[in-house]
Amino acid sequence: MGSPGEQAALSLLDQYSCGFMVSQVLFAACELGVFDVLAEAPEALGSDAVAARLGASARGTELLLDTCVSLRLLQVETRGGKALYENTELSGTYLVRSSPRSQHHMLLYLARTTYLCWAHLAQAVREGQNQYQKAFGVPSGELFSAIYRSEGEQLRFMRALQDIWSVQGRSVMAAFDLSPFPLICDLGGECPLQASELPKLTLGLLSTHRPPCPLPGCSGALAKECVSLYPGCQVTVFDIPEVVRMARKHFPFPEEGRIGFQEGDFFRDPLPDADLYILARVLHDWADEKCAQLLARVHRACKPGGGILVVESLLDADGRGPLTTQLYSLNMLVQTEGRERTPAQYQALLKAAGFRDIQCQTTGGIYDTILARK
Ligand SMILES: C[S@@+](CC[C@H](N)C(=O)[O-])C[C@H]1O[C@@H](n2cnc3c(N)ncnc32)[C@H](O)[C@@H]1O
């Protein structure tokens, strides 16, 4: 037995080196539908009953469920010598597909796409570029052609990205009073989709157990939050043609009159008229030069007194935290051409493009906001 210091060091090392196993437990339980089966059951279930409903092995299911208990994703009670499992508040709220705050689709994307790119992290660090070629055999000269390399992959990405806004969309849109901006353009705004469309296009990659999904994950898109918070505003979502076409086909919201779509390339095409331009999780996809190019175009399109709202996960001033944002930044390395930035780095980019009155507002969540004026 080593000293307490050595034991602590080894335990930390163990925690880090097995971190991927923890992620896989979470991913597998989501993908199999463990949390959905338990949410639907009228009472706690034994592992044999869960295995039967999932069509999975009794041995594997028992091991998975017990590990989920240690991770506080499930709780267990022994009655009459039999272990009975239930969701915890965490899994019931964020992992059950039908929950309005579900992060299920983001977890599937992390499991099926992000995880495979991270297998090549060392190579990404060596080369300083994303790993689509190695992970999926696709060239990434055109970043979003690689990200949207099939219709199923595009839908998976779109659904995944919406999930966080069901939890954080309101605080992000409320961080500044946006009511002085009646006409808003969400550049690279993604588009909300009908949940019912997804399973058809992602066969084999979603849960084997698929309960009917009453459009939960679709409710968090930023444009929707915006029109609900600011009754006088209209939002144009501007995105590349493939995304807009899919959204037009599947757009599920009754607010349709106040949310419109325009297709185009924000690096090349004229930008829609607006009092405020939103760039949410867009700048982090791109290197400084491309950000400068895009911000200069937004500045040209912006009216005097008009605004720009940047929504991103912000690094601390010295770039050494928070850990989540540092990990996101490495994720930008393996999956995009960009990085996460400090408030000062965004401020410098905005200033160089001509914006003034740059203010930063933290939300207490993963994503913060920066508002600037022309
Ligand atoms: C990381 S996603 C962010 C989506 C959304 N703003 C959010 O925060 O959920 C980047 C978005 O930029 C869009 N995009 C990428 N290149 C674009 C271009 N050249 N013109 C317009 N939109 C683009 C993508 O289709 C995608 O919707």
Q: Which of 259, 281, 313, 363 to mutate to test the pocket of ligand 1 (most atoms within 8 A of CB)?
A: 281
Q: Which atom of ligand 1 lies at the shortest distance from residue 279's CA?
A: 6
CATH topology of domain 4-94: Arc Repressor Mutant, subunit A (1.10.10)
Residue labelled with tokens 């949310």: 259
Beta carbon of 224 within 6 Å of any ligand 1 atom: no
CA–centroid distance, 186 to ligand 1, in Å, is 9
Q: Is 250 a catalytic residue?
A: no
Parallel, antiparallel or unpaired: strands 276-280 and 356-361: unpaired
DSSP string, 118-185: HTTHHHHHHHTS--HHHHHS---SSHHHHHTSSHHHHHHHHHHHHHHHHHHHHHHHHSS--TT--EEE
Residue burial 152-161, b: 16+ Cβ < 10 Å; e: rest? bbbbbbbbbb
**Confidence (pLDDT) at 214:** 34
**Candidates 3.10.129.10, 3.40.50.300, 3.40.50.150, 3.30.70.120; correct CATH number of 104-373?**
3.40.50.150
Given a cut of 70, the residues of the chain with pLDDT beneath it are: 1, 192-220, 249-256
Q: Which atom of ligand 1 lies at the shortest distance from residue 336's CA?
A: 1
Beta carbon of 269 within 6 Å of any ligand 1 atom: no
Q: Which of 155, 167, 184, 190 to mutate to test the pocket of ligand 1 (most atoms within 8 A of CB)?
A: 190
Beta carbon of 285 within 6 Å of any ligand 1 atom: yes
Beta carbon of 275 within 6 Å of any ligand 1 atom: no
Distance CA 110, CA 149 (A): 16
Beta carbon of 280 within 6 Å of any ligand 1 atom: yes
Beta carbon of 201 within 6 Å of any ligand 1 atom: no
Q: Which atom of ligand 1 lies at the shortest distance from residue 269's CA?
A: 20
Residue nearest to atom 13 of ligand 1 (CA): 188
Distance CA 61, CA 68 (A): 10
Beta carbon of 338 within 6 Å of any ligand 1 atom: no
**Confidence (pLDDT) at 220:** 36
CA–centroid distance, 43 to ligand 1, in Å, is 43
Q: Is omega for the bond preceding 241 within 30 degrees of 0, making it cis?
A: no
Distance CA 84, CA 78 (A): 6
* DSSP β-bridge partners for residue 239: 263
Distance CA 192, CA 109 (A): 16
CA–centroid distance, 331 to ligand 1, in Å, is 16
Q: Residues spanned by CATH 3.40.50.150 within the chain?
A: 104-373
Q: Which atom of ligand 1 lies at the shortest distance from residue 265's CA?
A: 20
Distance CA 287, CA 25 (A): 34
Q: Residue 310: enclosing H or E segment and its boundaries? A: strand 307-312
Distance CA 274, CA 3 (A): 64
**How many helices (H) does the chain have, and how many strands (E)?**
18, 9
- Catalytic-role residue among 209, 250, 284, 299: 284
**Confidence (pLDDT) at 201:** 38
**Which residues fall within 8 angstroms of residue 365, CB to CB, at 6 or more apart?**
167, 168, 171, 172
Distance CA 235, CA 299 (A): 18
Q: Which atom of ligand 1 lies at the shortest distance from residue 243's CA?
A: 25
**Confidence (pLDDT) at 256:** 60
CA–centroid distance, 9 to ligand 1, in Å, is 42
Task: Choose among 373, 358, 244, 360: nearest CA to 311.
Answer: 360
Question: How many residues in total does the chain contain?
Answer: 374
Q: Residues spanned by CATH 1.10.10.10 within the chain?
A: 4-94
Beta carbon of 265 within 6 Å of any ligand 1 atom: yes
φ, ψ for residue 340, nearest 5 deg: -85, 160
**Confidence (pLDDT) at 257:** 81
Structure token digits, residue 294: 């895009």
Q: Residue 108: enclosing H or E segment and its boundaries? A: helix 104-109
**Confidence (pLDDT) at 194:** 52
Residue nearest to atom 20 of ligand 1 (CA): 265
CA–centroid distance, 266 to ligand 1, in Å, is 9
Residue type, 242: E
SS3 label, residue 46:
coil
**Confidence (pLDDT) at 251:** 56
Q: Is omega for the bond preceding 322 within 30 degrees of 0, making it cis?
A: yes
